[in-house]
Amino acid sequence: MKSMLLDCLAERVLVYDGAMGTQLQAAGLSPEDFTLDSDREWNAIIANTAARLGGVSLDGCNELLCLTRPDIVGGVHASYLEAGADLIETNAFGTISYVLGEYDIPELVFDLAFASAQIARQQADKFSTSAKPRFVVGGIGPGTRLVSLGQAAFTDVESSFFDGFRGMIEGGADALLVETTQDLLMVKASIVAAERALASCEKRLPIFVQVTMEQTGTMLLGSEIGAALNMIEAFPSVVAFGLNCATGPVEMAQHVRFLGQNSTRPIAVQPNAGLPIMEKGHAVYKLSPEELGQHHLEFVEKYGVALCGGCCGTTPAHIKAVADAVGGHKHTSDAHWIKVRQQFPGFDFSVANPELPTPNSLVGISSLYQFQPYEQDTSFLIVGEKTNANGSKAFREMLAAENWEGLTELARELEGEGSHVLDVCTAYVGRNEEKDMRTLLSYYNRHIQVPLMIDSTEVNVIEAALQTVAGKPIVNSINFEDGEDRTRKVLGLCRKYGAAVVGLTIDEKGMAKSADEKFAIAERLIARTREFGLPDHDLFIDCLTFTLGSGDEEFRASAIATIDAIAMLKQHYPRVNTVLGVSNVSFGLKPALRQVLNSTFLHFAREAGLTSAIVHASKILPENKIEADVWKLASDLVYDRRVFAEA
């Protein structure tokens, strides 16, 4: 994706505009300005709405001004462009079906977005010179509903943003933005929508995302900045990520520092003009233009911020001060920009290079709340196994009883035991796996802090799950049992919704037995995930093992093959992760022996380089907690060392 906007962004600091709403209010609008005149020449959709409204004023619906008073909206854009803004944002904050629905005009999403982009385009073109081109950012706000709280369906939000972004693209926007966001699941829906809108218009424009960090230090629902960044970075099409609204630059500084240290995307910051102070029932903002300019200068110099602007309470005077302080500054070669350039060689933002190391970025997954690194100090990535209809009687019974609170409590216990991730499977004969997954994950999304592993082989179940959890989950799993078809479908979903993936060493011939066979299928999995643009660290190869509990001659060397394959992968693909369902190794044995054998097998697999495992965390014992002779016995079983009785 090449564009003039990205060329400018790659080179120098760009200045955004400031607040729109307060500028509109200052224009002294009357109720007539919010009235769709049915005598004017509209397209069929707008004419229909105008006739239906019959001259009723939709007082306060600022988006409508794009149709009724484009002169005033254009005038606000012009004032910011005069102040020195490189980018102006469309007047379309509430262009979402259920927000416009409050004014009884949900059908106008596309047309209002289209009009808002056209107005901004006209002004930007008027001010553009070859030395200082001006750009239109088609921005939509978060709306009034939280998907994670079930106030709106993922698919409804996605479809409204699709219409809105299509309007922006056709109206001439240079980039798409979702801003002031409070819920990462809503952010996910809007990114999916932006990508779909771009595909349907056959355009490639950069996507920008801005979240709102409240005074509490997290997003409204409790998401830490690391969770937000990690989820965003799973979408290569998101070209800039940052913050706007809620607080001033002082309160934002800690998050901007975090982004400077960790983000592989250019950083955008649009603070309010300080924290609001209530005066006579109105919020007023006291940060002066010069102060805002100085804060941005610090952000640019210290943290490599690329896009500087303002939110509530900022005026053209603020933006002039920002432009004077940072406009045109060349990016330094600090750690942040080195990372951005590594991630996007030549600033071709359409290709995230899967083979590139990402040394300092957030390598890991996330929930709605927190980031979870793949690499755990002094441990492995522990995936709790008990939230599984096949793996736990307690889970199965509560699922059958639809005891969602109990199922949530069970997950909380696993968290308490130290699981870093929970493997969730709702496949249960006689029940609707997709519906159960949706319901259960809507609970886990809200109430469980750690990220999730979605355990299903059904494409529809996986997609439902990906639409229900915020953050970046792991999909468990793909394999080549039925060839390429389903695997490609699932990898497409991982790309679309931003997820990591588990790949099993199974192909058309069945489950691989020897280490060489396992390694060969692993290489095929790696090739396929790279083809879909997933970075190596987001693939977890599962080298699978048969149970040693059957005593079958055929499977006695099974654990050795698994361990050897893990070692081969570690050597040849050090960035690819590995995982095992450890308890499988001891199916059919007595509980006490299972615990010892699982612990021993995990010990040797980790020595070979295993990076994560699906286990019952509290049942894993370290070597020093197992009696030496028992340890030896279990080790002999794992390594198939047998002493035959002398004849």
HEC string of 573-586 equals: CCCCEEEEEHHHHH
In the complex with ligand THG, which residue's Cβ is closer, 105 or 579? 579
**Shortest gap between Cβ of 587 and ligand THG (angstroms)?**
6
The CB-of-603 to ligand THG minimum distance in angstroms stands at: 17
When the beta carbons of 366 and 477 are compared against ligand THG, the nearer one is 477
Say how far apart CA 36 and CA 34 lie, in whole Å.
7
Give, for 157, the enclosing helix (H) or strand (E): helix 154-171
Closer to ligand THG by CB, 174 or 455: give it: 455
Residue number with CB closer to ligand THG (262 or 387): 387
For the record, the structure tokens of 361 come out as 């970025």
Closer Cβ to ligand THG, 187 or 424, answer by number? 424
Residue among 166 and 537 whose Cβ is closer to ligand THG: 537
Q: How far is the CB of 257 from ligand THG (least distance, A)?
A: 37
The C-alpha atoms of residue 484 and residue 487 are separated, in whole angstroms, by 5
> Could you give the C-alpha distances from 525 to 448, 513, 522, in angstroms and in order?
30, 16, 5
Q: How far is the CB of 562 from ligand THG (least distance, A)?
A: 10
Euclidean distance between CA atoms 433 and 456, whole angstroms = 9
Q: How many helices (H) and strands (E) does the chain have?
A: 23, 22
Instruction: State in angstroms the smallest separation of the CB of 46 from ligand THG.
Output: 53
CB count within 10 Å of CB 72 equals 18
Question: Measured from the CB atom, is 369 or 546 closer to ligand THG?
Answer: 546
Which residue type does 409 have?
Answer: E
Residue nearest ligand THG, Cβ-based: 581
Residue tagged 């082989």 (tokens): 457
Please give the Cα distance from 347 to 349 (Å, whole number): 5
Query: Which of 161/546 has CB closer to ligand THG?
Result: 546
Question: From the CB of 541, what's the least distance to ligand THG, in Å?
Answer: 10
Q: Rounded to 5 degrees, what are φ and ψ at 559?
A: -65, -35
CB 176 within 8 A of CB 214: no
Binding site for ligand THG (CB under 6 A): 385, 388, 391-394, 423, 455, 476-477, 502, 542, 544, 579, 581, 583-584, 614
- Give, for 613, the enclosing helix (H) or strand (E): strand 612-615
Residue with tokens 């995307």: 265
- Kindly state the tokens that stand for 74: 């254009």
- Toward ligand THG, which CB reaches closer, 297 or 502? 502
3-state helix, strand, coil in the chain (%, to 5): 50, 15, 40
With respect to ligand THG, which residue has the nearer C-beta, 272 or 456?
A: 456
CB of 445 to ligand THG, least distance (A): 20
Q: Which residues pair with 579 in a beta bridge?
A: 542, 612
Taking the complex as a whole, how short is the minimal distance between the CB of residue 440 and ligand THG, in angstroms? 16
- DSSP per residue over 351-407, as a string? ---TTS--TTS--EEE-SS-EEESS-TTS-EEEE--SBTTT-HHHHHHHHTT-HHHH
What count of residues does the chain have? 647
CB of 304 to ligand THG, least distance (A): 39
Q: Closest approach of Cβ 551 to ligand THG, in Å?
A: 17
